[in-house]
Structures are given as structure tokens and as C-alpha cells.
Amino acid sequence: MIMDERFKMMMDAIKKPCVLRLKLIKNKSPDNIMFVFEGDDDYDFYFHALNLCSFEKDYSHINGSGKDQSITLYTELKNEGSEYLSKTYFFVDQDYSLFCHSCKNILTLPFYAIENPLADERVIKHFLTSTFRFDEKNKAILECVMQMYIKARDSFYLEIKELSIHLFMARILGLGLEFPNNEEVFDKINKDHVVLKMNGIESVNQRIKTLSPDERAYHDVICSLDKDQLTRGKYVYHFVSEWLIRIKKYIHSRIDNLNAEIEQQKKKTENAEELKELSARKVLAKVQYEHKDVSISKLAPACRKVRELDKFLLSI
């Protein structure tokens, strides 16, 4: 218990704005552009996002410990009229907040967090294609797998919507609820559907029944948000990474069947041209990958351009 308390105190200390301020003072020079990201994964995401926007100016960066730390430091620097705010830019998630921090020094993503774009089928298709080297001659496997993914993704968003609404409302109402961890939320992530252990939070559900007219208006706005604004990024990434691990076994079985079928055709054919064509076909390998291979840094390069980031960079 004492060790847990000490660890929590240490983690809380790391998240204080003064820690990020010291990093900024140590690394900032008057003429250089400094980007401040929420954390290590954010740098991985923005590195590719900046390239996608054709941002070619030199910049340095520091990684902080969350949105609150970055916003608090920005506010302190602004109130002080600090020279360290010149050419310093903060990149933060939207999270569950009704207020969007947006000014010449702050970019707030138009979706919940950096993990949300990773669920795009384009990202999944690119990862699988580059991993297994699928091409036109074996595209049937990839097409079948992608159909499964879309079903699983749609199932995930449908199942988690009520929980997402409850978590957002808990923040708005100041209920002080901690986010459930992945083990508490997810039951099974199958090839084509997702089963959750929890679809909502009963205490929040009861509170929603007694909302005031103003609170009801907030609730209606939250319910109308799209899935990328409503769904917590950490849950999206867990779904994506676990699905990719889950689908691997199925892809391996399809590869075995395809390779065996080609070998059977080669044995049966007496046509020299057909045999030549079959022999030239690339044998797919049952590539192995683990959770470390489906990191944000590996998936982010296939994400689409963030238009809001593109506009923000034009002013730098």
C-alpha cells in the first residue's frame, strides 16, 4: 500500500507543469521551432502527420505527460508574457472536453485522441498488405479479411457507444469516475464482432435520469457526436491491436490452403504454360508478428491527412 502511494505521488509529480517547463527551458533556443507533444506515442503519430502535410521546416520537440500539463504550461507562459512561448507550439488531444483549445500556439485534434484514426480500414489494409505481401493474385484473402474487419469495427463502435456517452457525461457532471481499463471493458475481440463486459455504467445511467434542462442539452450534444469524437482513443487502439493479433491465425490458415492448392494444381496440370505460371506465383509466407509490431509508430504512416493540422502549420 505504501509503495503504491509513493508510486502515485511520483507519477503525479512527473505530470506537473514545472517538469515540462524545465524541459522547454533546457531545449529551447530563441530562433528554433519547438513542438510540445503530450507523450512519446504522440511524437510517433505527429512525425508522420507532419510529413503528410509536407511540413519541411526544422523543429525540435519535447514530450510531456498529458494534455493538462501542456495546457497549464501554455497558460502560465501566456500570462507571464514569457519569451519561451515564441515559436513554441502545443499539440493536444480533444479528449472528453466541451472546450477546444485553439489558438496560434495550440492545435487540438478534431477527434478524441491520436489513436482514433488507427481504426481506419486503410490503416489495417496497409499493415496486412505490407506484412504478408498480398498482391492481385491473392487479393481474395485480403478482401475477405477486410470484410471481417469492417464488421468487427462496426460491432465495436456499436457496443461501446453507451459506455462512451456515460464516460463523457461523468466528466461533464464531475462524478470523479476513473476510466475502466481494457480488461474491465473487453470480453472478446473476434474476427467479425466484439463482445464487451460492460456496455455502460449504472451509476451514470441513474444520474442521467435526473438531468437538469441544461445538463440534458449537454447530453444531447454528446449523443450526437461521431464515433471518433466520442470513443476513447485507448479503447480504439486496444481493439485494433488485439484484432490484428486475433486475425493472424485465420490468415495463416488461408495461406496454408492457398499454397496447398497451388501445389495440387502444379501436380495435376500437363500444360507447360500453366505449370510455368503456377511456378512463378509467389508463395505467401506465414509471417509472425506480436503486439510490439502493431505499435502506433507502425500503424500511423497509413493514417489520412489531418486537415486541421495542415491549416495550423501554414501559420508557423
Q: Is residue 164 part of a domain?
A: yes
CB-based contacts of 184, cutoff 8 Å, min separation 6: 197, 198
C-alpha cell at 295: 505499435
CB-based contacts of 295, cutoff 8 Å, min separation 6: 44
* Residue-level pLDDT at 4: 64
Q: Is residue 44 part of a domain?
A: yes
Contact between residue 119 and residue 238 where contact means Cβ atoms under 8 Å apart: no
Positions of the chain with pLDDT under 50? none
Q: What is the CA radius of gyration of the chain?
A: 24
The answer on 214 and 192 residing in a single domain is yes
The answer on 263 and 122 residing in a single domain is yes
* Residue-level pLDDT at 1: 56
* Residue-level pLDDT at 261: 79
The answer on 278 and 129 residing in a single domain is yes
The answer on 153 and 104 residing in a single domain is no
Contact between residue 164 and residue 96 where contact means Cβ atoms under 8 Å apart: no
The answer on 80 and 131 residing in a single domain is no
The answer on 139 and 261 residing in a single domain is yes
Return d(Cα 314, Cα 56) in angstroms, integer: 11
The answer on 7 and 144 residing in a single domain is no
Question: For residue 31, what are the domain limits?
Answer: 2-108+305-313
Q: Is residue 292 part of a domain?
A: no
Contact between residue 189 and residue 242 where contact means Cβ atoms under 8 Å apart: yes
The total of structural domains in the chain comes to 2
The answer on 194 and 154 residing in a single domain is yes
Largest distance between two CA atoms of the chain: 84
Q: Which long-range contacts (CB under 8 A, 24 or more apart) does 210-219 make?
A: 215/172, 215/173, 218/98, 218/169, 218/172, 219/165, 219/169
* Residue-level pLDDT at 275: 59
* Residue-level pLDDT at 100: 80
Sort 215 into a burial class: Cβ within 10 Å, 0-12 / 13-18 / 19+. Answer: middle
- Per-residue buried b or exposed e for 248-264, using 16+ beta carbons within 10 Å of the residue's own CB: beebbebbeebbeebee
The answer on 124 and 224 residing in a single domain is yes
C-alpha cell at 101: 483549445
